[in-house]
């Protein structure tokens, strides 16, 4: 965990209020570049501003934390909720010794992978294949190249609606494939960081990590607006194979298209609406179910109201 400081930076609440945006178009903040507005949007500059905002936010509307927006779609009608963007406030990482690394929830997984590889800690290369931040990876137990986030978690740091920070351990969570849930009664809290424990002097290198990244570039439509993998892989199967077997590569709904490079990717060809993307997701699900009798479960979180916001 980051060391506690005696002299915390003074928080300018006037600045926080001025920087909070109302009816913010979420298409600007999600990797699909589509979707409607959020009632509130705030991007804290540091941890202290985040805590102060949480303490001052008196509304009972839902709160969502967002990093790079790679696993989120807000429907075109928008959502009456608050989004807190942590990619500036929680980007720190700290080497704690004995193979342990702390990473803030806003730190890009690719950056975290590089730092771990430089320190000869692993297995950590797989983080370079996760197109998001540590916070998002914790929320869904994201994985790539055979590795999963929670395999390396020693503890997590969380914040609740009152701005109170606490530490939890993995045995307090139910963790599975692309699934993480706090055990017991539901609690409103969000990940703000985690301590990971790796093997020291791990047999890894920047060259090995680059090879994995190049493999990803060759097989996935990087550089185009998408959310990464749309569906979870069913047990013993690959969603991409099932979709491709239905002949859906290149299939379009409006401006949303099944990637011709990787069938488990949906790309925004330039003018897709959230409705186009969701429509294509539902169509693909229906076709795979009809042909293979398998229900595909989306990894992406779809929230908000349908229709065009007025």
Of the residues 189, 258, 278, 299, which is catalytic?
299
Active site residue 218: no
Of the residues 139, 148, 178, 258, which is catalytic?
178
Q: Is the CB of residue 105 less than 8 Å from the CB of residue 127?
A: no
Active site residue 178: yes
Of the residues 229, 258, 259, 278, which is catalytic?
229
Active site residue 299: yes
Q: In terms of C-beta distances under 8 Å and separation of at least 24 residues, what long-range contacts does 243-247 make, across chains too? A: 243/284, 243/287, 243/288, 243/296, 245/291, 245/292, 246/284, 246/287, 246/288, 246/291, 246/292
- DSSP lists the bridge partners of residue 65 as 84
Catalytic residues: 178, 229, 299
């Amino acid at each position: 965990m980051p060391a506690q400081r005696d002299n915390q930076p003074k928080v300018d609440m006037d600045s926080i209020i001025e920087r909070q945006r109302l009816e913010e178009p979420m298409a600007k903040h999600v990797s699909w570049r589509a979707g409607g507005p959020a009632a509130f949007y705030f991007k804290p500059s540091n941890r202290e501003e985040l805590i102060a905002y949480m303490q001052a936010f008196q509304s009972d509307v839902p709160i969502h934390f967002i990093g790079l927006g790679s696993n989120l779609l807000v429907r075109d009608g928008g959502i009456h909720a608050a989004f807190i963007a942590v990619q500036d406030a929680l980007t720190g990482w700290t080497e704690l010794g004995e193979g342990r690394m702390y990473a803030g929830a806003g730190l890009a997984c690719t950056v975290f992978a590089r730092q771990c590889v430089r320190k000869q800690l692993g297995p950590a290369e797989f983080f370079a294949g996760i197109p998001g931040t540590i916070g998002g990876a914790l929320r869904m137990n994201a994985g790539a190249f055979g590795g999963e986030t929670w395999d390396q978690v020693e503890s997590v740091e969380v914040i609740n609606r009152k701005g109170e920070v606490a530490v939890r351990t993995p045995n307090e969570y139910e963790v599975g494939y692309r699934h993480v849930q706090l055990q017991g009664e539901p609690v409103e809290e969000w990940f703000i960081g985690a301590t990971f424990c790796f093997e020291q002097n791990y047999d890894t290198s920047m060259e090995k990590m680059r090879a994995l990244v190049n493999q990803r570039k060759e097989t996935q439509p990087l550089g185009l607006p998408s959310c990464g993998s749309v569906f979870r892989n069913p047990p013993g199967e690959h969603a991409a194979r099932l979709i491709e077997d239905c002949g859906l590569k290149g299939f379009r709904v409006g401006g949303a298209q099944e990637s011709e490079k990787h069938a488990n990717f949906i790309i925004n060809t330039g003018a897709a609406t959230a409705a186009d993307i969701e429509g294509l997701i539902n169509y693909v699900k229906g076709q795979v179910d009809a042909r293979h009798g398998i229900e595909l479960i989306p990894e992406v979180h779809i929230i908000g109201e349908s229709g065009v916001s007025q």
